[in-house]
Structure 1
Amino acid sequence: MKRPSPSRCALALFIMMPAWPLCAESQESPGDGSRYQHFMVYPHRQAGYAAMRAGDERTAIAEFTRARELAPKNLGTALDLAEAYRHFGHAARAQAVLDEQKRYTPNDPRLLAAMPAPAAPAVDCMRDNRPVCRAQRGFNDLQSGELARAQEELDAPDFARSPEGRALRHALAQRAIYLGDDQRADAQLAELDAHDTLSADERGQWFMLLLKLGKLDAARQLQSRSGLDAPAQDLAMAQAIGNGRDRALLAQYMASRKPVFAGEKDERQWVNLLAMAARAQPALLDRYVVQYPANAIWQARFSLSLAMARGDRAVAQSMLSRLPASDFREDRFSLDLEQGRYLQAREQAEALIAQPEGYRLLDPLSYRLMEAGASVEAKQLLLDAYPFAGNPHLTALLSRLAVLASEQPALFSPDDRARLRRPLENVPLRIAQVHILGALHDCDGIRAVMADLAKDYPAELWRQLGDCYGNAQPGLAEYAYAEAGKRQPDSETTRALAYQAYSAQDYETALLAWRSVPATHMQQADLIAAATTALTIHEAAVARAWLDTYTAQGGRQDGTYWWLRAQADEPHDPALARTDLESAVALQPDARYYARLAALQAQAGDSQQALASWQHASALAPDDSRLSASLGYAYLQAGEPQQALVEFARAHQADPDNPAVTRQLLYVNQQLGNNAQARIYAEQAIDQIDNLNAADPEGTGGDAKQDQDELYSLRRLHENLGRSWSFNADMSLGDTVSSAANTVAPGVSYRSYAQLEAQYHLDPQLTGGDLNTLAAYARLFAGSGASGAVWPLHAAMLGVGLHWKPLISQNIVLSVEQQTPADNNRDTRNDTLLRASGSWSFGPKLSDDWHASGWGWPTQNFYVDIAHYLRAKQSVITLDYRFGLHDKIANGQTIEPYVHLQYTGIDRTQGLSYLRDGRAGLGLQWNVWYGETRYDAYPHRFSVAIEGQHAFTSYLRERNAVFLIVRTQW
């Protein structure tokens, strides 16, 4: 290559200083540096030129200074910086830069030319066309900005190819670059290149200019023929192609270049361009071997994303295998997820979340796991972070857990559920928590979380809480539905409240709820439920209104309808209710319908139809002990105790702990004379009361007094049913003769008397079960005799006979007794006594037997005795009334003050004479009962009394008497 002579360069420098850089760069010296160094400083020099054109001193000097730092020994950078200083009026600093450069290139003619020198004598070239003058005029035009006129000088054929012309063309090209006239600069450089007058650096500048102008083909041709293969030039060409978005051309170019970059940043730009070209040829990026480790990560980032986008999992995996396991976890997560390695994907997700601020990734990572079908891993990832404190996606995460729970509740183990049941710290979180538990149908958890019953819970959650309490805790369920109704008073919520209140037996609230639901919003089932509620609290008129609405809506008139209609009609028209029930059983035979029909039939006095209805009811529900018991009562009323016994036995078998049935079995067996069986049921009845008392020792569940009295009555009955022998003895000692001792010998007056009696109670089964109570007895009695002795040892008599008690419910006894003298007393003889006696206390509370409850009790007894002696033909009637007050002084002991009234009438002459005795007495008696067992009441009693009497009328001589009376029974 031919180069301009130093003299011509000096001329150019002398005439126009801005042209010297191009001229200077046409020379090569040790201070020029390498091609790569020129390429590195070139952008700064270009920026400096642009700043000088714009008058920006600070930027121009800064850019030229940076170029000088990159190439501190390069003559071009020194000349640029010196010129900038001179341009902006800093001559001294320009001289300092040139002086420093002299250390490196002291003899370079370009440096010497730049040094200040005496001005050359002026040459008058205004009309001279010699090359030197043309060059001078052209340089003058360039200096004044007249590029077109300088171009005219170059158009002269004899001048363009002269050394002076080529120098001017260099200057014109440089000036065009300086002024931004890239097209003119390109044309001039092309002309220079055609004559091989450009240096390598100048070709490099022209290459960059072509790229800037978008003349990629020209730039590639220049690069090809001029050997412009520096890494920076390869990078610049690739960037220019990349700006055109022609990925195929870019891939083709980059495939032919293998630059080795001296810096990490340039290589990174090359990798970026490879990523662009990889759209056309993925292998370019995948196979590129980077020099700098940081760029390996950069390459992997691009290569991974492209490989994943095109589905090339092998390349993606290969890229990841080259990198540390802690890098590109998101890509590893994506790759594991797509290839079904869900456990590994979850591990990558956990590692990502563990990074600083990684908790923010929980939302997208868990979502992607769920979308991929990795529900188990998504659930575990979410539960590991639960309850997501501080996470900005808290609401979304809780909702995602709820979705998982709804779609796959089986994924949640008991431990998971236990963790989810722990109430969170505030109401909004607990609301979201309940949604999760609701999806799991975990009512235990919902009840635990909402245990605070906060007022801020929405209606939906109160409804859910009500559903969870349900029948297990109906009261709380009702409260929950009521709270839901306060927040959302719609028909659906009110309907739920009505049903639940009925279940909780809060019928008033249920009825109010049903009344608040418009009839138009009520379904037929609701109308039936509302009517049922109204009937439960005896609102028959309200029930009829709902039943009328039900009928108007075309509701089915089945057995249920007629059953409710009967209950609604019964208060005002029992006959109509009976007709309703007949319709019900005709359509749908039901034990309840027959039972109610039987009650109405019995109420109307139709006992046979009632019995038939009870039989139907029991047949439909043979295991219903209540129906069996009711049928047993019906049989009793119909006079069929044997059938009643069968039904009571069935009821007892189904419900052996029912005390009412047990007692009916006791009484019916007693009525039928089955005393042994009756005693068994008496023992069961006693045990039932004892068990109830043991379960409720404080007596809070019932009437303790009534239980004690019933228990004693059952023990007394048990004792009586088991008694075969009875013994009693009584003695009275008086101070005068009285008729008070009439029970021993009716019509005989004694001062004193004594009696010993033994009875044997015959088993009813031995008599065919027809006689209620039959007893054989024998007694020995004596009195004070005619002499009026104190001790009753005279006129002893032996009586043997039978007692018959025809009625169980009445204490009436018919007796027949054969009396025989027991000694040789002349006042006694054989006789037969016929006797009818009765005793009434007018209620068990006034009986003379021991009372288990209370401090004591009043007692009364009205005794009637009619006796007739067949041989003596004597009749006696006795009326005896006694009222006393027992005061308990110890268990089984009382002190009893009493009043005694007695009337005795004696007919000894078949109506010819009639003797009367009427008297009153006051007494005080000490009573002792003893011998009680678990099942038997006191079988023995001992009494001692002192009684004073006054006769108001008497056939006896003495009107006043005092007696000591002793009685014992065992």
Structure 2
Amino acid sequence: MKRLFGFPLLACLVAFPVAAAEPLSGFQQFRSYPFLDRAYREAGRNNWGEVERLMRHLLERVPRSEEARRLLMEALIKQRRYAEAEALSAELGEGHEALLELRLAWIEQDPPTATQVEQWLLHSEGDQRVRLWQAYSLSLAKFGGAKRALDWLSQLPIRGDGMVLRMSRANWAERLRDWNATEAQLAALEAEGQLGADDWRRLANARVQLLDEEGLQRLLTQSPSPAAEREVRLAMLDHAVSLGRLDMARRWLASLPAADRDSDAQRARIWELARQGGDAPLVRELGDQLRRPCLETAEWLSRHDQAAARQQLQTCRGEDDPQTWLVLAQRLHATDLLERQRLPEPWDSARRERLLELWREQGRSDLALAWLARQPQTPALQRRRAELLQASGQTEQAERLWLDYYRSSGDLQALDQASYLAVQGGRRDQARQWLEQAFDRQGGRLPVPLLQRLAGLYAETGAPFDAVRARALLPHLDGDSRASLLGRMAESGDCNWLRGEIGETPRAPVELRILGRCAMPARPGEAVIYYQQALAQGDQASRLPLAYALEAAGDAPAAWRIWREQAPERLDNIARLTAARSALTAGEPQAAERYWQSAQSASADDWALGAAIAQARSDLPLALARQRQALQSQPAASHYYGAAATAQQAGDLPQSSAWLAEAVRLEPDHPRYNADYGMRLAASPSAEQRRRAIALLERATRDFPEDYRIGETLAWRYDEAEDSAAARRELRRVIDLEQNPVAGADEYGSLEARRYRQRRAHETLSRRDSFTLASTWSPAGVATNDILRDDGSRSGEERRAASSNVQMAVWDHALGEEPSRAGRSLSVYGRALLGGDGRHRYGRSLGLGLGLRYRPIGTQNLNLYGELYAQSELDDADFDGFSLGQWLNPGEVSDALNDHVRKGRVSTDLLLRATASFLDQGDWRNDWRVDEDRWNERFLYLDAAWWTRAGDHAWLSRFQQGHAWKLHTESAQTLMPYGFIEFSAQDPNNDWRQDLRTGVGLRWQLWYGDSRYNAYPARVTVRGEYQWGLAGNLYERADGWLLGVEVNF
């Protein structure tokens, strides 16, 4: 095609301008001929590059050769170099036909941009302009689709080509089914009166598609012919019908000629449209006019307008189509029609059934029963009445009718219904009696449902059970019914017969399951074995009983593994509670809570389980609330006991004690309740309640002789009640018990610590006589803890520091039948003191005292003294000194004592004294620790003395704290570095003197003398300390060393 196109174009290029151009000379023509001849031959070969070269060469020689220029133009066009060809053609004039053909070829072969074409159109007129935009729109449609061509044409301005341009736009819009654009273009031609017959039809079609009734009516006034007008009206009618526009279709139907309007075909079209649009009145009207079947119209109306459908159905003959009539009557709930209409059989029987079904659906069983009562009574009708009574909930009347029907007909299905209703109504005994009679009458050959119902009645827990009848029923049962009845026989205690029936080697899973049930609850371990064997044989019904048995046998984790495999919604209430208990015991409190929440908690046990779960989840307020709920559900003593434990853990001790007391009241002989209540009372802040605890604890020691805590607590209460003998006796029993202990270390300490604590308490209660020997050396003259009164002989001397020593011996004897009474005691004591004023000068002062010591408070280390005190002191002239070695010579000792008798200044006085020690109890006490290697000690010692005759006073206060280490020796020894601060004051001759000092020291202690019942009654203490005087004039703030030795036994 490209080659064929080139020669006409070349002809155009050559033919038209030849006459206008100046002719070439002969010589020029002669020179041109070889080149032109060769160029035409190359053009025939499509060698357009060679043609271009030859023609350019020729134009250089003969510039005025138009034929060469046009052949060059053809070569450029063939090479798609249209711009160069256009520039070359400019010499021919813009309106030249050759330029137009060039541009058309350009558009066809290699479309330029729209801007380029629009530029051409600006300089083109008339037919050339039309040909250009027509060619370009075709090119756009070819490469970009009709939409692109329409869009480009729509934006072109009209310049004398409006009619053609609008028609072209309308053509493209029609192709795109763009009826709005089609109508807009053709409407302009309509307004100008330029529409032809074909364009009129095209515009009419566009307005039909747009449902433009107003525009279409205007256009119809210009119709080219009546046939064209009728065709358009029918098209509009068809379009309205297809779109379901019923009103529009009716208007255009009315506009048709009478012959068309009254035809059945058009009415059928409107009738169909009315059906589609749901216009019930029009459907009925046209259906009558078209003589449509009455039931057909009623069926359509039943889905759109039931009231109209019922009216229509009343006009229809049921005999014409009984089945359809029945369906419609039931759909429309036309009970009145069903009640009075008569149909041929078997449809009339179906009519009666439909009527009864409708009344039942409407809840009008009364109408159905009344209608049945009016009908001739037949067995079938009697059965139907029973069914209706049963369906309406009148079960007792239905039961009587079913039973009467059974007795008159022998129909076992009627007995099935009568016994079912009796069971549902709670009349199980009556149902069982009917079934037993039928069983006897039929020789056991009853339908399976009746046998299963009878077996179910026998299997119900709590129902009367006849083992003989159950045994007779068993051969007629299988599957679940047999298993449930066997289980009921096992529960009723008929296990001996069952074992004989099963034999020594059970094989069937149900037999193993029954043996497992016989073993519960007395032998849960045996039951576990049977259930596991049954489960191994595929008896899934044994899975849940196995879980119960495992729980009862104490294997909660294994039980929990079974419970969590079960879907919770398939478990009954008891199973969910048991699963919750297994999960709790297995350490899964969150899962236990979920199961417990899904169950119905009705009993105190259920609420107590919920409380235990909440307690395991550390939700003590919720646990306490659930315990309160448990105590509102017929609680037993065990529930009060459990609630008391929860309240104690929640910190509500008053409520816990009250609940524990109620548990004891409900079960006064329960050992554990009495023991715990006794322990609770023993810890009460009320002295009266602590005394009440003694009787309970005495009983508890008989019930739980191995519980050392009860024995210890009873001993403390005996001691508080001032019965030290009973306290010591109980402690000895506990000590003997701990020689072969039942329990080792617990939360109250190690076994060794318990033994020591008990023996220390016994030793304290047993101590009647106490002896103390002490000696203190103070080489630098610093303070001591022992007081020798200054008799005033040295009152004129300055109290300067000097070496001193004091030796003391004390004997203390407790008075009364018992050494102590609730920690209080009254003792008589005697003491002797020796004092010296040098390192080697002993015995210058001699003091003797005899008095009473009273400890008024058993829980505090406070002592009050009243003492007759006598002191002898030698002057320097009468005292030669007495060395430490002389103590070994009795004669020298006797001489020293005679010096005091003959030469000593003797003074007597009544000494009143009070001492107290604080901050030295519990973990800070000065005592041996059997289960510790190191510990802290401290004390605050206060000592006040008043010599009533002389009027002198003395005060000493000392705070000391240290850390003791055990020495790794076989004996009990400790070494303790310590620090202290001490304040002392004296007022001899009403001259007050004070001293404040501090220091550090090292103490060694040896504990000894322990026995089976007494822990270390004696100890030796050696201490050395260095003191710094801080303030005061009692010792002139002297610094120095102090050494002390003390023996207590």
Normalising by structure 1, report the TM-score: 0.46
